[in-house]
Amino acid sequence: MNEYEVLREFLEMPLFSGDAVFSRFHELPGAVLHGRGPERFLYVRGTRDDRVLLVAHADTFWDRPDGPAEPGHKVIYSDGILSSSSDTHGLGADDRAGCAMLWLLKDLGHSLFITDGEEQGGAGSSWLMGSAEHAGIAAEINDTHRFIVQFDRRNGTDFKCYTVGTDAFREYVRARTGYREPDRRSFTDIVTLCRSIAGVNLSIGYHHEHRPGEYLAFREWLHTLTLCRAWLAEKELPRFPLPEERR
């Protein structure tokens, strides 16, 4: 399948459960799946010595226990814009577009990490990092990766490091992407996952998330995919540690 077909496959998965996303990634060699939604995550260890952890979340804003039954969900494409056929629910590009991005980057040798419950306060990532049972995976994430990249940001040319960036890492991201950091507010899974390495969340082209009018600009999504293919294929990616006080 080409890039558009992969994106559409993930956008057409049921909005109210991440099961289809987890099933798709669980097919990959070495994939390990722990827990059950929203306290759930899937991890595929990368093969590169200088590997990066690539992150997306399987749940959508519409995957809520108190929500109504899921309506029929079809993706509409017109003039480079993808949207939902539903009048009451959005496209789910936050973060199914990020999951599609990871699928298309899976052969670069980096580690893949899919969480559940990001829209419920980062339930999956918090469960991992606070669990004695999975302390080994939490340590491996921070000890054996150079940095973390999450694909879960609105707009087309933003990046955000929140509280888990350094000046050097922010400058590195700007140089590799040309994107800008509008502010450092809010959070996503990297704020929980990053204990001793820096992390960044990149724009993947969705707009008006959490609303029925959500849409995705295909060219913006494809641009981030294309630049990350080149960036993450570089040899000897540097490691960006966080200051001791952040750990």
The CATH code of the domain that includes 205 is 3.40.630.10
Note the pLDDT tens digit of each residue in 155-177.
Answer: 999 999 999 999 999 999 999 99
> Above 90 in pLDDT, residue 69?
no
Instruction: Report the number of distinct structural domains present in the chain.
Output: 1
Containing structural domain, residue 213: 3-246
Structure tokens at 70: 């899921």
> Above 60 in pLDDT, residue 247?
no
Range list of β-strands (E), 105-246: 111-115, 148-153, 159-160, 199-203, 206-207, 215-217
186 by Cβ neighbours in 10 Å (0-12 / 13-18 / 19+) ranks as exposed
Q: Are 61 and 96 in contact (CB under 8 A)?
A: no
* pTM for the full predicted model: 0.96
Confidence class of residue 37 from pLDDT cuts 50, 70 and 90?
Answer: confident
Note the pLDDT tens digit of each residue in 95-112.
Answer: 999 999 999 999 999 999
What is the DSSP secondary structure assignment for residue 201, as one 8-state letter?
A: E
* pLDDT given for residue 244 in this prediction: 77
Confidence class of residue 70 from pLDDT cuts 50, 70 and 90?
Answer: low
* pLDDT given for residue 87 in this prediction: 86
